[in-house]
Amino acid sequence: MSMMNRRNVLVTGSLAAAGLATAVSVDQADANTLNPPAPETSAANPAGRFANQVVLITGATSGIGETTAKAFASKGAKVVFNGRRAQLGQQVESQIRDAGGDATYIQSDVRDPQQVEQLVQATLEQYGRLDIAFNNAGIFMTPVEIQEMDLDNYRDMMATNLDGVFYSMRYELPVMIEQGSGIIINMASVAGHRGFANTPHYNASKHGVIGLTKAAATANAKHNIRINSISPLAVDTPMLRRSFEYQGLTYEQMAPNFVTPRIMTTDEMARAVMFLASAEATAINGMDLDVTGGQLA
């Protein structure tokens, strides 16, 4: 394989490693590449705009999920979140509460439908309703082509990224239908719009998420339920960094390949989720929101 072709394969594998619920600190050396413009503030987005709304987030022990949980809590929401790593989950819960927010961590695994059902039930038992769900939990694995893929790795990818979203909606929707309203946001990816050669398992899982989102949105609009997804590109997470390290790449090398030549932040993803969950997005349903900085244009 030529150096150029090899680099193209590495780039596409790295592009697919987006939308994962993990977080990482930003090195000072990355500041120019990573720091986005400061978010705008206005009277339309005051603190407390999600006051007393109950929000359920899967995969929120770090990364996009963690940032989104903290963001919702800071705006007055009552947040329930899960994840497999108890120590991290308890840490996030404590941080939210120490900041004056309302949060409950429940250790569970979205690959297990019974645990997902119990997660939704625990939310109802604690707060009595479910207003917003962000089905965010996901994983990424070492890039590999189909003929070389380990079958167990393939099954784990699909069980987490696709089945986990299905199970979540399977148990969230009856609650929302009964109460007559609800909002669901699912985590998709740029990989749900592309066919990256060396991440077919990840591509398949994220194409599936977008399909599930559209089907569920069409079926449940009559119940006053909106369902959308977001598709990130490369978001600053430990898993993205590990992917780059495995391939011998750096953020500085990769950023120029993007239409917006920088790595996105978890704060930007959280703001996109909150927009879709807000009163400003009442006409948006069945859409996959491009949060790639224009990569899908």
Q: Give the active site residues.
A: 202
* Coil/strand/helix, residue 80: strand
* Cα 8 to Cα 1, 195, 263, 264, distances in angstroms: 11, 13, 18, 21
Cβ partners under 8 Å of residue 207, min gap 6: 191, 192
Query: In terms of C-beta density within 10 A (0-12 exposed, 13-18 middle, 19 or more buried), how is residue 295 classed?
Result: buried
Alpha-carbon span 5 to 51, nearest angstrom: 51
Q: Using CA atoms, how far apart are residues 114 and 264, in angstroms rounded to an integer?
A: 34
Token code pair at residue 152: 């167990």
Side-chain half-sphere of 201: how many Cα atoms within 13 Å? 25
C-alpha distance across the termini of the chain, in Å: 30
